[in-house]
Amino acid sequence: MPALAALASGFREAWADPAFRGELDALLRDYVGRPTPLYMARRLAAETGLAHVLLKREDLAHTGAHKVNNTLGQCLLAHRMGKRRVIAETGAGQHGVATATTAALLGLECSVFMGVEDIRRQALNVYKMRLLGAEVVPVSDGAGTLANAVTAALRHWVERVEDTFYVLGSALGPHPYPLIVRELQSVIGEEILQQLAERGMTVRDVDAVAACVGGGSNAIGTFHPFLREVPVGERPLLVGAEAGGEGVDTPRHGASMTRGEPGVLHGHYSYLLQDEAGNPLEAHSISAGLDYPGVGPEHAYLRDAGLVRYEPVTDAEALEAFALLCRTEGIIPAVESSHALALLPRLAEELGPRATVVVTVSGRGDKDIDVVREAGLGAD
């Protein structure tokens, strides 16, 4: 598609332009609030049986999640490419809120496609998007979740490529999106490396780095600088947590790495949950941000190359980790991020009590309060 070719060259030029990078960096600092802290969570470490747990606090970024790193970059690019209108898809609503936010900042018109089921689950974020001046377009196809919203947004984009920029929410979709999103999210891992150094630590002091994987944007942003800058022998174990839902042996999960087969969806070839006829299956997760039946293509490569390990985490395990972080550190994490936190006890078992683990807390949990209340947390 010519629009993708234009996007690829537009991004390449912008990324090489010091003026563009300067504007992005200034906004990341003054508007988003970067760098986000790398916080030493002592009580959580003690509870999970690890020596040190360091939390990369993306929940403290403006709008409450890492998604804003990506939308700021893409909206700046849209502006630079002369588009007056942006569209986005959203599952948890975080990407929609982030897009609506940065579109407002830059004076761009904004429409966000969202499945009707997600609109129900994420009412607060829907309301925020409207306050921020965005139009929320309900998508009732299929299960009414993220995959359907991506399909609808892509279909809409083909009709309006002339004046519209598609702000894609994760490290997936047709080239160059996985690349653009990875570059924009790599700020997470770059800061981790720098912040370790500022603490007088080296990467050798870190035994594992964990992040949750929906489409894979916060995970690729966390891992990529380690893969790029740290030699294999010194690299910590990199682990992605994917949605295990009600268990990978049930039909209700979103574990495309563990249970998917190679396939094409939304313009990329990766692991995909699909039926015998090649139709993508409906994914399930307690977190709207993780129930996508596929995963970004670079993660499929990293898995096959043995460079990153991926493990499913069930809804119940994620809820337990959610509650644990609330009680030990006074931090209410997103349910997505709780999937990564749920890896901590497992890593303690594997690596022993002297181990140090870095976890990306991709977002804060305000948006999930209804979901966890419905699940019975904090009832007594």
Ligand X SMILES: Cc1ncc(COP(=O)(O)O)c(C=O)c1O
Choices 20-28, 132-140, 206-214, 273-281 (CB under 8 A): range interacting with another protein: 273-281
Structure tokens, 210: 């964990």
Cα gap 145→38, rounded to integer Å: 32
33 binds, among ligand X, another protein, none (CB under 5 to 8 A by kind): none
CB 43 within 8 A of CB 327: no
Cβ atoms within 10 Å of 163's Cβ, excluding its own: 10
Per CB under 8 A, 251 contacts another protein: no
Minimum distance from CB of 274 to ligand X (Å)? Answer: 19
According to the binding rule CB under 8 A, does residue 114 interact with another protein?
A: no
Q: Which helix (H) or strand (E) holds 375?
A: none
H or E segment to which residue 115 belongs: strand 109-115
Query: Please, what is the minimum distance in Å from the beta carbon of residue 154 to ligand X?
Result: 17
215 touches ligand X (CB under 6 A): yes
Does 266 interact with another protein (rule: CB under 8 A)? yes
For the bound state, the minimum distance from the C-beta of residue 2 to another protein, rounded and expressed in Å, comes to 5
Per DSSP, helices labelled H in the chain are: 2-15, 18-27, 42-48, 67-80, 94-106, 116-121, 123-131, 146-160, 177-185, 187-198, 217-229, 256-259, 297-304, 315-329, 335-341, 343-351, 369-374
Distances in Å between the alpha carbon of 91 and those of 96, 123, 146, 227, 252? Answer: 8, 12, 5, 28, 17
Binding to ligand X (CB under 6 A): which residues in 243-262? none
Q: What distance in Å separates the CA atoms of residue 57 and residue 80, rounded to the nearest whole number?
A: 30
Q: Which of 178, 289, 294, 312 binds ligand X (CB under 6 A)?
A: 289
Q: Do 164 and 157 meet the contact criterion of CB atoms below 8 Å apart?
A: yes
Query: Catalytic positions, please?
Result: 67, 89, 362
Residue 272 found at the interface with another protein (CB under 8 A): yes
Return the residue of 251, 262, 352, 378 that touches another protein, per CB under 8 A: 262
Rule CB under 8 A: say whether 263 interacts with another protein. yes
51 binds, options ligand X, another protein, none, Cβ within 5 to 8 A by partner type: none
Q: How far is the CB of 84 from another protein (least distance, A)?
A: 17
| List of residues contacting ligand X (CB under 6 A) | 65, 67, 91-92, 94-95, 170, 212-219, 289-290, 334, 336-337, 362-363
